[in-house]
Amino acid sequence: MGKHILVVDDDPHIRDVIVFALEQSGMEPVEAKDGDEAIRLFEKHSPDLIVLDINMPELDGMAVCKKIRKASEVPILFLSSRDEEIDRIVGLEIGGDDYVSKPFSPRELVARVHAILKRVNGPQNTPCDSPSFLERGQLRMDLEKHQCTWSNQLLEITAREFAILEAFLKFPEKAFRRDDLLDTAYEPNSFVSDRTIDSHIRHIRQKLAKSGCESVIETVRGVGYRLGSCQ
- In percent, how much of the chain has pLDDT > 70? 89
**Average pLDDT for residues 136-142, to the nearest whole number?**
88
Pair (32, 99) in one structural domain: yes
Q: Which of 100, 121, 142 is the last residue of a domain?
A: 121
Distance CA 94, CA 90 (A): 6
Is residue 126 one of the residues assigned to a domain? Answer: no
Q: Are residues 210 and 157 in the same domain?
A: yes
pLDDT score of 209: 87
> In 25-60, where does DSSP find H-type helix?
35-45
Listed in sequence order, the DSSP H helices in 46-158 are 61-69, 85-93, 106-121
- Give the integer Cα–Cα distance in Å for 218 and 231: 13
Same domain, 167 and 114: no
Domain count along the chain = 2
* Domain-ending residue, one of 65, 94, 121: 121
CATH (domain of 208): 1.10.10.10
158, 149 Cβ separation under 8 angstroms? no
Binning pLDDT at 50, 70 and 90, where does residue 10 land? very high
Q: How far is CA 213 from the centre of its chain?
A: 22
pLDDT at 131: 60
Summarised one tens digit per residue, pLDDT across range 79-113 is: 988 766 666 667 777 788 888 888 888 888 998 89
User: Is 216 contained in some domain?
Assistant: yes
pLDDT digits (tens, 9 = 90+) for 44-70: 999 999 999 998 988 999 999 999 998
Domain span including residue 219: 133-227
- pTM for the complete prediction? 0.58
| pLDDT, tens digit, 9 for 90 and up, residues 159-207 | 889 999 999 988 888 999 888 888 888 776 666 777 788 889 999 999 8
Amino acid at 188: P
